[in-house]
Structure 1
Amino acid sequence: MDGRIITLAQQKGGSGKTTLAAHLAVAFARLGHGVAILDVDPQGSLGQWFERREAHFGPETIDISFGTASGWGARREAHGLARNHDIVIVDTPPKSDTESRSAIEAANLVVVPVQPTQIDLWATDPTLQNIAREGTPSLIVLNRVVQRAGLTGEMIEAIQALGRDTAATSLGNRVAFAASIGRGLSVQETEPSGKGAQEITALTDEIQRRLNAG
């Protein structure tokens, strides 16, 4: 049986999509899964993170595989990686229907990170429409949440009112996420007892339950 494909999609730039993709990859690998990441974004940020990780651990001991593709090739490459890995995580570019469509079509689940602001909510609608057209299950993940901000609660309600599945776990606005990415690592490795690591662990468990149920 082929592995499961998780695509990260969001047309709004700056949503934290690549950071989340890297953190999920590490989290699934730490659970003992064979994990591959696929960078479909021409900016190549996920690939740069992988190179730092490879330099940190060494090419012989790194725990994650890497691939890259563009356009329609994303679907083919994702399925190819899924034949040899338990989990394939695909990072797509913002503002590109062409680059994202095949990755969304290939996915067992599309994870959509959304920051809790009105602008981000407006910008997310085209992404959700694209996912709905492909008929792929999706999960909205609230990202960079400021817990004490009054606006956050209103935006959470507005996102939930969209009628789309929203993760019970949200991710805080934490410097630790970006700091770990710059080293080719994740917060589970740099701050294993921190709140960020706890959030990633909880979100990964939630996603895995959805994949198992699908």
Structure 2
Amino acid sequence: MIVAVVSQKGGVSKSSLTCAIAWELHARGSSVLVVDADPQGTVRQSGQVSADEGRAMPTIVAMGETMFRPDQLPRLARSYDHVIVDTPGRSDEVQRAALMVADLALIPCGQSAPDGWATVPTVELVQRAQRARPDLAVALVLTMCLPRTVVGRSARDVVAEAGIPVLSASTTHRIAWQEALAAGVGVAQYAPHDKAADEARAVVDELLVLTGEKQARKRRTTKRKGS
């Protein structure tokens, strides 16, 4: 599967989420390619920490608008079980390029209604991509939520109006997320017994269900066309 993590709003833990997903899939025995399409290079810098320490880790490459060249990323993807793309916050061109090759667009969003409103441009960008690629799946994940609060329902309500499914799993504002990125690993590998690790695993579990169902539908459609 190719998952594009997209958001035009900063501060939603996009790179931390990308690393957490990639490392958890890698820990489960999958071959994983991480595409750092963000000029800030947060994922690459985090990965360099692990590379310097000689850890077994996901493959990390830098790639920007060149993703849009025919078959470039899909050709790379054939060598891996999963590809996770970390896109820049304010670059429609790079985000569009990622959406043109992704199987799933994952939109991180804060928990409040204003966070939901700020996510609407990203939702609209994904929906435009879906008009060109009807098979592109999309889901939103609430990130950096405050523990023991219910305000997250506000963002869910805002996004629900756009018809975007929201993952049951979410992440909360825990220091382990920031520390894991600095340590060069996913949060579930950095602090395996922390609640943040449970959150990361739950997100990955749900993504695997979503993409598994999508691939199953694609196989059924192909089979019907061939019969």
TM-score (norm 1): 0.91
Give 2:188's aligned residue.
188
Aligned length: 208
Give 2:141's aligned residue.
141
Give 2:6's aligned residue.
9
Give 2:30's aligned residue.
33
Residue type of the alignment partner of 2:163: G
CA gap 1:90/1:139 in 2 versus in 1, 3 angstroms: same
Residue type of the alignment partner of 1:171: T
Task: Point out where structure 1 has 5 or more consecutive residues left out of the alignment.
Answer: none
**Deviation of 1:150 (Å):** 4.9
Task: Point out where structure 2 has 5 or more consecutive residues left out of the alignment.
Answer: 131-135, 215-227
Give 1:73's aligned residue.
67
**Deviation of 1:152 (Å):** 2.9
SS at match of 2:24: helix
- Aligned mates of 1:66, 1:38 — CA distance in 2: 6
- Aligned mates of 1:39, 1:190 — CA distance in 2: 21
**Deviation of 1:179 (Å):** 0.5
1:42-101 residue CA offsets vs partner (Å, 9 max, x unmatched): 111111011112112x1xx52311111111435654313211100000000011111110
% identity of equivalent residues: 28
- Aligned mates of 1:80, 1:37 — CA distance in 2: 14
Residue type of the alignment partner of 2:167: A
- Aligned mates of 2:127, 2:206 — CA distance in 1: 21
Give 2:125's aligned residue.
130
- Aligned mates of 2:8, 2:31 — CA distance in 1: 28
1:9-33 residue CA offsets vs partner (Å, 9 max, x unmatched): 0000111101100000001111111
- Aligned mates of 2:173, 2:74 — CA distance in 1: 33
Conservation of the 8 A alpha-carbon contact between 2:109 and 2:142: yes
- Aligned mates of 1:67, 1:43 — CA distance in 2: 13
- Aligned mates of 1:10, 1:158 — CA distance in 2: 16
**Deviation of 1:190 (Å):** 2.1
TM-score (norm 2): 0.86
CA gap 1:165/1:153 in 2 versus in 1, 3 angstroms: closer
- Aligned mates of 1:68, 1:54 — CA distance in 2: 15
1:78-128 residue CA offsets vs partner (Å, 9 max, x unmatched): 313211100000000011111110101110001100001233212211111
The alignment status of 1:20 with 2:17, answered yes or no, reads: yes
Give 1:96's aligned residue.
91
What RMSD over aligned residues (CA atoms) do the two structures have, in Å?
1.6
Residue type of the alignment partner of 1:106: V
Residue type of the alignment partner of 2:183: R
SS at match of 2:38: coil
Conservation of the 8 A alpha-carbon contact between 2:116 and 2:156: no
Conservation of the 8 A alpha-carbon contact between 1:19 and 1:178: yes
